[in-house]
Structure 1
Amino acid sequence: MDRLGLTVFYIALSIAAFAFGKAVNRRARHPAANATLIAMLVVIAVLLLSHQNYAAYMRHGGGAIAWLLGPATVALGIPLARHAKTMARESWPIGAAIVAGAVSAAISAPLILSVLGGSKILALSMAPKAVTTPIAMQISAHIGGVPALAALFAIVGGIIVAIIAEPVLARLGITDHRVFGLTAGVAGSGIGAAQAVSRNPQAGAYAALAVGVNAIVTAILVPVFWSWHWL
């Protein structure tokens, strides 16, 4: 298959895999049946069966899908704009919650990894895991991490949050859509926010705000903290 054929095939594969994941999610109605996770597993299976690697997938179509993460994240501004007045009245508690979550996400896991003897590169790659994948890759590259690992941590972390956030909050007796939105946006970034949007418009708005503010805080905090940590 030539270059153009591979590009068309991998883009079609990605779209079809996600459509399949959405269909399974609608039928199963269970948090574990996450459309993004299912799509990833389908693409991985096809690559293994066809004896192709991830680098080839990204060169021929996968990179275009990854680039679309940027515009997709910007689209989260739609629910944000619709609920801006309501959120403005709660700006202080919302801001405090997002900043606290961003600081915790950026420091806790990499610091634990470092204390337990993990490598510096792995910790630096993990530090921006709670922001959207393109931003996580840029931050990781800037501080000396591995962008590909940062992308992996961001995606896997987002999927985990999308799967467990709602059941955990329900077990704690928390049903407020605003809390779910902030939790999904701070801890799960774009994937978590997408889950929030599908659940409730208000949750989607709070998740969108959390994604944006978390990205700003993380982009400032991570380079400063981890540069100081290894001085």
Structure 2
Amino acid sequence: MSETWEWLLTSPLSMLLLTLLAYRVGRQVQTWTGGHALAQPVLVAILLVAPVLTFLDIDYTDYRAGAELIAFMLGPATVALAIPLHRQAHRLRGFVVPMLVAVLLGAAVSITSAVLLVQVLGGGDVLARTTAPKAATAPVAIALAESAGGISALAAVLAILAGILGAVAGPAVLTVLRVRDHRARGLAQGAVSHGIGASRMLADHETEGAFAGLSMGLTALAMSILLPLLLAVLL
């Protein structure tokens, strides 16, 4: 019996099933609440999976190995965001230059504000280098933080946290600020909350989701270019 229980705790299939079930519950909660902002499936899944791993004393490394298939599928899922963008390609007319300028400025402000906030709160250089790429999608944030001398694991947590917070609060903030252009809303959301925010915008409006996906990719590129330059100046 103990051998069976140990196998269940370490089996990749168990970790994969746990993750999928938690996300399915998150989708159901989202449906029950009528799509409430706080009922983000990713957030609900995290709140379900984390206590289970803690209670069963499952190491994160074992969990990640079991859920590797889902992590692998993030790549194709990100590429699939190009499909709604292709359908909305006609909306790029007259918007390319303002979009590129906005993405570059947004990336610069994100990096600078993160570093300055850490410094104001008394954090060290390592924490600043870890926090700076938070607006990039998680794989890019991990790589950038590691190359900049930060903590890659913490960078992943911060990137996911930024994505969840953006998906929960982003659309409401844009509405309060009276940003009504669907392209601008998607661009802003994708720049700060990457894939999680893009999926939220895609559920709300196809144009917003398409531009959020485009913004996510462009922001990751802008971060890769600007991060070493701005860190050299700020630190």
- TM-score, with length taken from structure 2: 0.91
Q: Indicate how the Cα distance of structure 1 residues 5 and 94 shifts in structure 2: closer, same or farther if over 3 A, else same.
A: same
Find the counterpart in structure 1 of residue 3 from structure 2. Answer: none
Find the counterpart in structure 2 of residue 40 from structure 1. Answer: 46
Aligned length: 229
Between stretches 126-135 and 46-55, larger displacement belongs to 46-55
Calculate percent identity across the aligned residue pairs: 37
- Measured in 2, the distance between the counterparts of 1:90 and 1:134 equals 28
Q: Would the aligned equivalents of 1:143 and 1:227 in 2 still touch at CA under 8 Å? A: no
How far off its partner does 1:15 sit?
A: 1.1
Find the counterpart in structure 1 of residue 151 from structure 2. Answer: 146
TM superposition outliers: structure 1 runs of 4+ over 4 Å = none
Residue-by-residue CA offset, 1:149-202 (whole Å, 9 max, x unaligned): 110000000000000011112223333322221121001011111111111110
- Measured in 1, the distance between the counterparts of 2:96 and 2:191 equals 16
Q: Would the aligned equivalents of 2:142 and 2:156 in 1 still touch at CA under 8 Å? A: yes
5+ residue gaps, structure 2, are 1-5
How far off its partner does 1:3 sit?
A: 8.3
- Measured in 1, the distance between the counterparts of 2:216 and 2:146 equals 20
Find the counterpart in structure 2 of residue 171 from structure 1. Answer: 176
- Measured in 2, the distance between the counterparts of 1:168 and 1:145 equals 30
- The one-letter code matched in structure 2 to 1:51 is D
Q: Would the aligned equivalents of 1:181 and 1:193 in 2 still touch at CA under 8 Å? A: yes
Matches within 5 A, 1:41-190: 41-59=47-65, 61-190=66-195
How far off its partner does 1:104 sit?
A: 1.1
- The one-letter code matched in structure 2 to 1:128 is P
Q: Indicate how the Cα distance of structure 1 residues 82 and 228 shifts in structure 2: closer, same or farther if over 3 A, else same.
A: same
- Measured in 2, the distance between the counterparts of 1:64 and 1:157 equals 23
5+ residue gaps, structure 1, are none
- Measured in 2, the distance between the counterparts of 1:68 and 1:137 equals 17
Whether 2:37 is the aligned partner of 1:31: answer yes
How far off its partner does 1:40 sit?
A: 0.7
Whether 2:216 is the aligned partner of 1:208: answer no
How far off its partner does 1:219 sit?
A: 0.5
RMSD: 1.7
